[in-house]
């Protein structure tokens, strides 16, 4: 206990708060990733005591994942890939004058998601990580395929165009050097394309820059979004989406535990499940449904606890940020693995507590900044649009300091603009891009491990994990068809 108190003091909390503030800024600015911030902090905190270094990183991680929602809601530029699904309903809500409510929903459900993931981490970390380890390549393929079945939820009008958008997204994800054979694919001799098409500039282009193009060419109102000065947000109103939040948090935690799947997949899957779960939403999904924000934000923040599970119990990072954190552990002489919790109970407890306090900082920072941030939408369009355009450029450039990536962002902005105009789905395309590489590499790995398609199929159907995922796929497809049929009848 004395040892615990010697570490856990005001200094520790202040460091955690500083990390949270950095996370708030980094996450909200498009192009600046939480992974990049933690990697930079790794070099800064090299000589710090272990607990201070970890407190700073956890602060950045927890609040950074949440704050990606801020730019998604206010200007339709996802601050992080994990907050793409938040923009589907967050930005329409903001456009209708409910930015404050949208930001509060994102804040509260990010908090709930983080706490949920944390509870799972502290209670059942070990058995869950063992299950995650038994996932084979075909299970990962099926999981990604399950993700692709959510296309129906991301396309409100023409489901055929939704699927075409998703498959084009999958094809885009395959541009570059093939990860298994090392052969360039669809690069047309370009050295830049050999590195693949970077996801962040694509996201900024498809959502942010296409919005600028749309607004400039339409010139409908003097502001992008409205601000409802009488907007009152009650706690009761915000907390009524708790059931969706719990389901989404569970999805987020499970996806977080699986190495390589990540928060973007979790939030898109949670968004889909919320759409299927909510029979009669007050506002349709995609047009400002609060349920969509609650689902996406609960899931992406629940991924934090999930991603920490395999990192602490097996020494396998669940996502890019935990991979950087893992190196911080090594730098300070700690070796996460099966015996880590037993041998370093104080370290484990402090990590859990730091994440818990970090989640409270989400609420505190939300309370401090939401009233100010919600006023961003008051800025007239003629001032706001050039600023968003410049933010898109800086965001795309800052990922790899490359003007080529700014060109990619611009090209995808134009593509996104025409997709909107012709009824295609940018969200479905993003889903394809996120899941494409995971599907491709795992499908081929599974095929080469089993020897033939026949063995692959027979092997798959006799594995419990695969059977569970297949059941989910069938259910997802069935519910999609049912929902579409019901919508068509109405």
Give the interface with other proteins as residue ranges (CB under 8 A): 25, 29, 32, 157-158, 160-161, 163-164, 167-168, 170-171, 174, 178, 180-181, 183, 185-186, 209, 212-213, 215-219, 222, 381-383, 385-387, 389-391, 393-394, 397-398, 401, 403, 406-407, 410, 413-414, 417, 421-423, 439-440, 443-444, 447-448, 451
Q: How far apart are CA 485 and CA 490, in angstroms?
A: 9
- Closer by beta carbon to other proteins, 47 or else 218: 218
- Closer by beta carbon to other proteins, 32 or else 347: 32
- Closer by beta carbon to other proteins, 83 or else 155: 155
Count of alpha carbons within 13 angstroms of residue 136, beta-carbon side: 19
CB of 439 to other proteins, least distance (A): 7
- Closer by beta carbon to other proteins, 302 or else 392: 392
Here the tokens at position 244 are: 């969706």
- Closer by beta carbon to other proteins, 247 or else 411: 411
Q: How far apart are CA 420 and CA 426, in angstroms?
A: 7
- Closer by beta carbon to other proteins, 6 or else 194: 194
With both helix axes pointing from N to C terminus, report the angle between 320-331 and 34-44 in degrees, rounded to the nearest 10: 10
Q: Which residues pair with 188 in a beta bridge?
A: none
Q: How many CB atoms lie within 10 A of CB 343?
A: 12
CB of 177 to other proteins, least distance (A): 9
- Closer by beta carbon to other proteins, 158 or else 327: 158
CB of 342 to other proteins, least distance (A): 40
CB of 233 to other proteins, least distance (A): 29
Here the tokens at position 310 are: 């395999």
Cβ–Cβ under 8 Å, residues 476 and 272: yes
CA 319, 321, 325, 330 torsion: positive or negative? Answer: positive
Here the tokens at position 38 are: 């933690």
Cβ–Cβ under 8 Å, residues 196 and 176: yes
Residue with tokens 């939403």: 281
CB of 160 to other proteins, least distance (A): 5
Here the tokens at position 116 are: 């949920």
CB of 289 to other proteins, least distance (A): 22
CB of 9 to other proteins, least distance (A): 29
- Closer by beta carbon to other proteins, 121 or else 446: 446
Q: How far apart are CA 126 and CA 136, in angstroms?
A: 19
Q: How far apart are CA 60 and CA 297, in angstroms?
A: 16
Eight-state DSSP code of residue 409? H
Q: How far apart are CA 261 and CA 306, in angstroms?
A: 11
CB of 136 to other proteins, least distance (A): 15
Residue 177 parent element (H or E):
strand 176-177
CB of 232 to other proteins, least distance (A): 32
- Closer by beta carbon to other proteins, 29 or else 154: 29
SS3 label, residue 133 = helix
């Amino acid at each position: 206990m004395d040892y615990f108190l010697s570490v856990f003091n005001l200094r520790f909390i202040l460091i955690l708060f500083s990390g949270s503030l950095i996370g708030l800024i980094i996450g909200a600015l498009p192009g600046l990733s939480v992974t990049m911030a933690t990697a930079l902090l790794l070099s800064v905190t090299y000589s710090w005591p272990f607990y201070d270094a970890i407190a700073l990183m956890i602060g950045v991680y927890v609040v950074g994942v949440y704050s990606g929602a801020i730019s998604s809601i206010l200007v339709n530029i996802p601050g992080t890939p994990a907050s793409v699904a938040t923009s589907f309903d967050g930005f329409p809500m903001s456009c209708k004058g409910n930015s404050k409510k949208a930001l509060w929903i994102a804040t509260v459900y990010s908090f709930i998601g983080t706490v949920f993931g944390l509870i799972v981490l502290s209670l059942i970390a070990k058995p869950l990580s063992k299950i995650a380890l038994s996932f084979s390549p075909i299970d990962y393929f099926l999981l990604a395929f399950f993700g692709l079945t959510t296309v129906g939820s991301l396309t409100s009008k023409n489901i055929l165009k939704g699927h075409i958008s998703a498959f084009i997204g999958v094809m885009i994800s395959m541009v570059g050097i093939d990860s298994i054979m090392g052969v360039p694919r669809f690069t047309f001799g370009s050295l830049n394309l050999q590195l693949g098409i970077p996801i962040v500039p694509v996201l900024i282009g498809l959502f942010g820059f296409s919005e600028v193009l749309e607004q400039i060419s339409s010139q409908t109102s003097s502001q992008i979004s409205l601000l409802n000065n009488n907007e009152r947000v009650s706690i009761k109103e915000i907390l009524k989406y708790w059931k969706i939040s719990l389901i989404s948090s569970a999805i987020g935690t499970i996806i977080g535990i699986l190495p390589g799947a990540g928060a973007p997949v979790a939030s898109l899957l949670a968004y889909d499940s919320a759409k299927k779960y909510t029979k009669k939403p007050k506002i349709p999904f995609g047009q400002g449904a609060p349920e969509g924000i609650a689902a996406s934000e609960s899931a992406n923040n629940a991924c934090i606890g999930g991603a920490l599970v395999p990192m602490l119990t097996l020494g396998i990072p669940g996502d890019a940020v935990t991979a950087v954190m893992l190196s911080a552990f090594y730098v300070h002489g700690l070796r996460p693995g099966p015996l880590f919790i037993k041998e370093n109970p104080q370290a484990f407890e402090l990590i859990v507590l730091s994440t818990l306090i970090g989640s409270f900082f989400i609420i505190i920072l939300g309370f401090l900044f939401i009233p100010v941030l919600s006023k961003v939408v008051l800025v007239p369009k003629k001032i706001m649009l050039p600023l968003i355009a410049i933010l898109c450029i800086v965001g795309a450039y800052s990922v790899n300091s490359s003007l080529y990536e700014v060109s990619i962002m611009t090209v995808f902005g134009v593509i996104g603009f025409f997709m909107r105009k012709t009824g295609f789905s940018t969200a479905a395309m993003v889903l394809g891009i996120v899941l494409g590489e995971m599907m491709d590499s795992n499908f081929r790995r599974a095929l080469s491990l089993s020897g033939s398609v026949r063995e692959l199929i027979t092997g798959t159907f006799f594995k419990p994990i695969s059977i569970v995922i297949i059941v989910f796929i069938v259910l997802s497809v069935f519910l999609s068809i049912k929902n579409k049929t019901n919508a068509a009848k109405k």
